[in-house]
């Protein structure tokens, strides 16, 4: 266990992920100095194990944030104390945070004798930094220097970021994204909840009685949303979740027809529905999607290893994945994405190699490779004692397997994002055949366009390009609360748009 003691709670979300990246298998506890710590206490609770541990068995990282000075002290299990400090030129929070993370990184790198491929970057959008520099005219070499000096980012990851950012710029160059907007609609139901999932998702088995009432509330929000941007063109539409295809074919048809009747879709460049779980897909649903103008779907196996699917709670077979994909092609879907996750419990590089070989036979139009992220709310994290002997082996090798697969099968990387607590501090990469890229993915990751998000758990994002400002307006995550508070949530959006002088009807 590692005990972090901060003198200022405001920097907890900067320090914790960085320490966790160096010590992914360790339990890490954060306390605030002089407030949460009883100096006379002789033991501390390891909450994940429910055990009291003596303080002398715990490694400590003490962070003292003084005016223009940061002091970091390591107290090792052996009793050895190591302390370093750094002076900050100003107490500007952004600069101060950078100095703090650099100091901790350098000390941990020395202590562990390892470097992180992304350096001190723990946010989800590393390519956004590169994207913004490229569009202002900076050359590759200056970007490489910046990423190395400012973030300790490896040459390999910087090269990847530059390549992807250039691809994104090329894809968006003919799109008037600043004067448009995208629409996200969340369907928070799934056939079952996966072991690693922390999204807004409710098992259809338990929540099936809520679906009709949820759709009624969603219809109300859709009706309002259609009035929000009368002078902007709708660019992309994305149905996510959850799993939208947990809805029946009749419900799906009604929802898609509702969107088509309320919004002007003549300028829409992409209409995506996550079909997601193969056990939620039927011929009738795929036919409805095609007939209603959906031009991009996602069928997500995550793994083609049956033992893995059983372990993580995917209640379908490998054969069902193939059947769902084959049906989609027969109906005429010409842009199909498939998601994979590397780092799943118990998997080895050979499992990923076999999964990729099976995916190759299907030949999807795009492939999104996720590295497992151990979210705090996921069962895999909450019940990690049950899975401690099922850790994935050599995840970086798995990632290299996917990179080589993409190169050898004409898939181009076109977007990238990261999450906190990712295995081996790696990343998620979206690959596609030329012309089959997911435009919504780029727009949301690079934060280049306002996105109106509807449904439980939806997070609307409003981009003010002239002010270099981004604001968010969230919906509640609970299905029950969403249905009960729909008028309040609509008013929340209305107030924001009016207060920020965004024209609405």
The answer to whether residues 100 and 65 touch, using CB atoms and an 8 Å cutoff, is yes
Q: Does residue 367 have a pLDDT over 70?
A: yes
Contacts of 489 (CB under 8 A, 6+ apart): 221, 475, 476, 482
Peptide bond into 242 cis (omega under 30): yes
**pLDDT tens for each residue of 423-432:** 777 899 999 9
Query: Which of 19-23, 84-88, 193-197, 210-214 shows the lowest mean pLDDT across its residues?
Result: 193-197
Q: How confident is the model at residue 51 (pLDDT cuts 50, 70, 90)?
A: very low
pLDDT at 385: 53
Q: How confident is the model at residue 314 (pLDDT cuts 50, 70, 90)?
A: confident
pLDDT at 193: 60
Query: Which of 85-89, 406-410, 463-467, 469-473 shows the lowest mean pLDDT across its residues?
Result: 85-89
> Average pLDDT of 427-439?
95
The answer to whether residues 270 and 236 touch, using CB atoms and an 8 Å cutoff, is yes
> Average pLDDT of 461-477?
93
Q: Does residue 296 have a pLDDT over 70?
A: yes
pLDDT at 198: 54
Query: Which of 334-343, 380-389, 393-402 shows the lowest mean pLDDT across its residues?
Result: 380-389
> Average pLDDT of 313-338?
95
Q: Does residue 58 have a pLDDT over 50?
A: no
> Average pLDDT of 447-458?
95
pTM over 0.85: yes
pLDDT at 54: 43
pLDDT at 10: 87
> Average pLDDT of 100-121?
91
> In this structure, how many other beta carbons lie within 10 angstroms of the beta carbon of residue 34?
9
pLDDT at 197: 57
Identify the three-state secondary structure at position 138: coil
Q: What is the mean pLDDT of the chain?
A: 87
pLDDT at 389: 52
> Average pLDDT of 479-505?
90
Which residues are bridge partners to 469 per DSSP?
464
> Average pLDDT of 341-362?
95
220-236 burial: b if 16+ Cβ within 10 Å, else e: bbbebbbebbeebbbbb
Q: Does residue 143 have a pLDDT over 80?
A: yes
pLDDT at 306: 95
Residue with tokens 């004409």: 410
pLDDT at 340: 95
Q: Does residue 160 have a pLDDT over 70?
A: yes
Contacts of 305 (CB under 8 A, 6+ apart): 318, 347, 351, 354, 355
Q: Does residue 399 have a pLDDT over 80?
A: yes
Q: Does residue 284 have a pLDDT over 80?
A: yes
DSSP 159: H
The secondary structure of 416-458 as a DSSP string is EE--TTBGGG--EEEEE-TT---HHHHHHHTT-SEEEEESTT-
Q: How confident is the model at residue 391 (pLDDT cuts 50, 70, 90)?
A: confident
Q: What gap in Å lies between CA 94 and CA 116, rounded to an integer?
A: 21
The answer to whether residues 112 and 95 touch, using CB atoms and an 8 Å cutoff, is no
The answer to whether residues 242 and 190 touch, using CB atoms and an 8 Å cutoff, is yes
Query: Which of 22-31, 226-235, 286-295, 411-420 shows the lowest mean pLDDT across its residues?
Result: 22-31
Q: What gap in Å lies between CA 24 and CA 416, rounded to an integer?
A: 22
Element (H, E) at 254: helix 249-262
pLDDT at 41: 42
Which residues are bridge partners to 431 per DSSP?
367, 413
pLDDT at 23: 86
Q: What gap in Å lies between CA 448 and CA 171, rounded to an integer?
A: 12
pLDDT at 196: 53
| Better-predicted residue by pLDDT, 127 or 52 | 127
> In this structure, how many other beta carbons lie within 10 angstroms of the beta carbon of residue 331?
16
Query: Which of 84-88, 339-343, 357-361, 374-378 shows the lowest mean pLDDT across its residues?
Result: 374-378
The secondary structure of 463-475 as a DSSP string is EEGGGTEEEEEEP
Tell me what percent of the residues of the chain surpass a pLDDT of 70: 89
> Average pLDDT of 81-101?
84
Q: What gap in Å lies between CA 150 and CA 255, rounded to an integer?
A: 47
Taking the alpha carbons at both ends of the chain, their separation in whole angstroms is 55
Query: Which of 14-18, 260-264, 432-436 shows the lowest mean pLDDT across its residues?
Result: 14-18
Query: Which of 30-44, 165-179, 292-306, 355-369 shows the lowest mean pLDDT across its residues?
Result: 30-44
> Average pLDDT of 100-106?
93
pLDDT at 105: 94
């Amino acid at each position: 266990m590692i005990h972090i003691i901060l003198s200022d709670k405001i920097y907890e979300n900067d320090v914790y992920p960085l320490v966790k990246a160096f010590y992914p298998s360790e339990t890490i506890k954060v306390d605030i100095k002089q407030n949460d710590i009883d100096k006379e206490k002789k033991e501390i609770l390891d909450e994940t194990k429910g055990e009291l541990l003596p303080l002398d068995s715990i490694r400590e990282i003490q962070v003292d944030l003084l005016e223009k000075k940061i002091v970091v002290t390591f107290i090792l299990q052996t009793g050895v104390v190591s302390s370093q400090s750094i002076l900050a030129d100003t107490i500007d929070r952004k600069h101060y945070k950078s100095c703090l993370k650099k100091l901790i990184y350098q000390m941990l790198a020395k202590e562990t004798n390892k470097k992180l491929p992304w350096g001190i970057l723990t946010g989800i959008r590393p390519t956004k930094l590169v994207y913004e520099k490229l569009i202002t005219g900076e050359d590759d070499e200056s970007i490489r220097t910046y990423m190395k000096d400012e973030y300790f980012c490896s040459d390999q990851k910087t090269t990847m970021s530059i390549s992807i950012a250039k691809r994104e710029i090329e894809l968006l160059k003919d799109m008037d994204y600043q004067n448009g907007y995208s629409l996200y609609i969340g369907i928070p139901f799934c056939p079952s909840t996966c072991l690693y999932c922390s999204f807004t998702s409710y098992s259809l088995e338990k929540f099936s009685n809520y679906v009709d009432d949820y759709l009624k509330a969603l219809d109300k929000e859709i009706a309002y949303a259609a009035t929000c941007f009368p002078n902007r063109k709708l660019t992309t539409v994305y149905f996510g979740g959850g799993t939208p295809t947990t809805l029946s074919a009749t419900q799906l048809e009604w929802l898609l027809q509702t969107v088509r009747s309320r919004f002007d879709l003549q300028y829409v460049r992409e209409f995506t529905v996550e079909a997601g779980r193969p056990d939620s897909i039927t011929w009738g649903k795929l036919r409805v999607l095609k007939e209603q103008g959906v031009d991009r779907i996602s069928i997500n196996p995550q793994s083609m290893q049956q033992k893995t699917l059983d372990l993580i709670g995917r209640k379908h077979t490998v054969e069902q994945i193939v059947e769902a994909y084959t049906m989609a092609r027969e109906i005429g879907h010409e842009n199909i994405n498939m998601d994979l996750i590397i780092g799943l419990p118990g998997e080895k590089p050979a499992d990923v190699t076999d999964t990729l070989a099976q995916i190759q036979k299907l030949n999807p139009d795009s492939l999104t490779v996720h590295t497992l992220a151990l979210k705090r709310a996921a069962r895999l994290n909450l019940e990690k004692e049950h899975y401690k002997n099922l850790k994935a082996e050599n995840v970086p090798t798995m990632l290299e397997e996917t990179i080589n697969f993409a190169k050898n099968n004409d898939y181009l990387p076109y977007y990238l994002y990261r999450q906190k607590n990712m295995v081996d501090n790696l990343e998620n990469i979206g690959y596609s055949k030329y012309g089959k890229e997911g435009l919504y993915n780029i727009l949301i990751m690079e934060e280049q366009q306002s996105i109106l998000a509807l449904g439980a758990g939806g997070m609307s994002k409003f981009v003010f390009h002239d002010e270099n400002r981004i604001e968010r307006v969230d919906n509640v995550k609970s299905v029950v609360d969403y249905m009960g508070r729909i008028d309040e949530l609509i008013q929340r959006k209305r107030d924001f748009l009016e207060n920020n002088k965004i024209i609405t009807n």
